[in-house]
Chain A
């Protein structure tokens, strides 16, 4: 069974750096074709794709947020970490991690973690 779970701070201050961890099981990020992505959803708004890391350690970023984002995976390959710098109240959202397969399908999602940016 494939599962993903997001963890991180619920509250960050403006200008701080947000670090989120996605812990997954049921698949290996070393397997060709496997990818893990981060997607966020501000309150009452649409989903927004943020970043993706693949089995070969290639990384892809939302062009609008590229300068603020860093995605990485740990050596055991069961965690993916997303860092976002210079947080602003507009970054308040639910942050999801999801597995992507076949290059286009987010087939399994975590439950999401709510991040509020406020002083």
Chain B
């Protein structure tokens, strides 16, 4: 089974920068696009990054995404942290065997 592994939780102070990783268990993570979704408590997920590094309109440029083929990982970086960024973040990609796959999610706490 293809898995996307994320840290369970990360925390950082307002104004700082945080990076959340998403590591593919097999194959090349660069072979298929990675998306990132933000989910605030009690709400449905919304897209913050698609196609590895693209931001939907309305998402501030404090959010950025990247791929590191050497570690088979995708990363979501949020700079200038705000308390409103506190949420769960999920990476998502595609695998030919398991089709559409989500990571286990990362709880971001902005202290």
Please say whether chains A and B are actual partners in one complex.
yes
Q: Identify the A interface with B (CB < 8 A).
A: 37, 39, 46-49, 52, 60, 62-63, 96, 100, 103-107, 109-112
29 residue pairs bridging A and B, Cβ less than 8 Å apart: A37-B100, A39-B102, A47-B37, A47-B39, A47-B90, A47-B102, A47-B105, A48-B102, A49-B99, A49-B102, A60-B99, A62-B98, A63-B98, A96-B45, A103-B94, A104-B32, A104-B50, A104-B94, A104-B100, A105-B33, A105-B35, A105-B50, A106-B37, A106-B47, A106-B92, A106-B100, A110-B44, A111-B44, A112-B44
* A96 cross-chain contacts in B, Cβ below 8 A: 44-45
Q: Please tell me if B14 contacts chain A, counting CB pairs below 8 Å.
A: no
Contact across chains for B93 and A105 when beta carbons are under 8 A apart? no
In the complex, which of the residues B32, B45, B99 contacts A47, with contact meaning CB atoms closer than 8 Å? B45
* A103 cross-chain contacts in B, Cβ below 8 A: 94
Size of B's binding interface in residues, CB under 8 A: 26
In the complex, what distance in Å separates the CA atom of A39 from the CA atom of B37?
A: 13
Q: Please tell me if B24 contacts chain A, counting CB pairs below 8 Å.
A: no
* B39 cross-chain contacts in A, Cβ below 8 A: 47
Q: Which chain A residue shows the least CB distance to B94? A: A104
Within the complex, the shortest CB–CB distance from A18 to chain B, in Å, comes to 19
Within the complex, the shortest CB–CB distance from A48 to chain B, in Å, comes to 7
Contact across chains for A62 and B99 when beta carbons are under 8 A apart? yes
Contact across chains for A46 and B103 when beta carbons are under 8 A apart? yes
Q: Please tell me if B97 contacts chain A, counting CB pairs below 8 Å.
A: yes
Contact across chains for B102 and A46 when beta carbons are under 8 A apart? yes
Contact across chains for B46 and A109 when beta carbons are under 8 A apart? yes
B27-70 vs A, Cβ < 8 Å mask (1 yes, 0 no): 00000110101010001111100110000100000000000000
Q: Please tell me if B18 contacts chain A, counting CB pairs below 8 Å.
A: no
Contact across chains for A46 and B37 when beta carbons are under 8 A apart? no
* B101 cross-chain contacts in A, Cβ below 8 A: 49
